Amino acid sequence: MPIPGNLITTAMAVMPHKNVDRALEIALSMDVPFWPQLPHYNYYEDMYVQASEHFPGIFLNN
Protein backbone atom coordinates (compact mmCIF):
# COMPACT_ATOMS: atom_id res chain seq x y z
CA MET A 1 0.00 0.00 0.00
CA PRO A 2 1.62 3.30 -1.05
CA ILE A 3 1.77 6.24 1.32
CA PRO A 4 -0.72 8.96 0.28
CA GLY A 5 0.90 12.11 -1.10
CA ASN A 6 4.04 10.29 -2.28
CA LEU A 7 5.94 11.26 0.84
CA ILE A 8 9.41 9.77 0.60
CA THR A 9 11.15 11.47 3.50
CA THR A 10 10.51 10.96 7.16
CA ALA A 11 12.69 12.48 9.81
CA MET A 12 13.07 12.30 13.52
CA ALA A 13 13.40 15.89 14.60
CA VAL A 14 16.24 15.33 17.09
CA MET A 15 19.54 16.30 15.48
CA PRO A 16 23.10 16.19 16.88
CA HIS A 17 23.96 19.69 15.68
CA LYS A 18 25.14 22.63 17.76
CA ASN A 19 24.88 25.07 14.85
CA VAL A 20 21.25 26.21 14.48
CA ASP A 21 21.69 27.62 10.97
CA ARG A 22 23.21 24.39 9.64
CA ALA A 23 20.46 22.28 11.23
CA LEU A 24 17.77 24.48 9.67
CA GLU A 25 19.51 24.33 6.31
CA ILE A 26 19.38 20.53 6.39
CA ALA A 27 15.81 20.41 7.71
CA LEU A 28 14.51 22.77 5.02
CA SER A 29 16.34 20.93 2.23
CA MET A 30 14.19 17.81 2.67
CA ASP A 31 11.08 17.24 0.57
CA VAL A 32 9.14 17.30 3.84
CA PRO A 33 10.58 20.06 6.03
CA PHE A 34 10.64 19.38 9.74
CA TRP A 35 11.34 21.33 12.92
CA PRO A 36 14.70 20.17 14.29
CA GLN A 37 15.32 19.73 18.00
CA LEU A 38 18.92 20.38 19.05
CA PRO A 39 19.61 18.94 22.51
CA HIS A 40 23.37 19.53 22.12
CA TYR A 41 22.64 23.22 21.60
CA ASN A 42 20.29 23.65 24.57
CA TYR A 43 19.15 21.30 27.37
CA TYR A 44 15.51 22.31 26.87
CA GLU A 45 15.57 21.19 23.22
CA ASP A 46 15.61 17.55 24.34
CA MET A 47 12.32 15.79 23.55
CA TYR A 48 12.25 14.05 26.95
CA VAL A 49 12.65 17.36 28.75
CA GLN A 50 9.84 18.88 26.69
CA ALA A 51 7.51 15.89 27.11
CA SER A 52 7.99 15.67 30.86
CA GLU A 53 7.36 19.34 31.60
CA HIS A 54 4.57 19.66 34.19
CA PHE A 55 4.37 15.85 34.49
CA PRO A 56 3.51 14.93 38.11
CA GLY A 57 6.48 13.63 40.06
CA ILE A 58 9.16 14.69 37.58
CA PHE A 59 11.63 17.41 38.49
CA LEU A 60 13.93 18.70 35.77
CA ASN A 61 17.36 19.73 36.86
CA ASN A 62 19.96 20.71 34.30
Half-sphere exposure of residue 56: CA atoms within 13 angstroms, side-chain side? 0
What is the rounded distance in angstroms from the CA atom of residue 35 to the CA atom of residue 5?
20
Write down the pTM of the prediction: 0.58
What's the helix, strand, coil split of the chain in %, to 5?
Answer: 35, 5, 60
Looking at per-residue confidence, does 52 or 10 come out higher? 52
Interval 3-49: pLDDT, tens: 555 656 566 678 888 899 998 888 888 777 677 888 889 888 888 88
Looking at per-residue confidence, does 59 or 20 come out higher? 20
Question: Which residues contact residue 17 at a Cβ distance below 8 angstroms, ignoring those fewer than 6 apart?
Answer: 23, 26, 36, 38, 40, 41
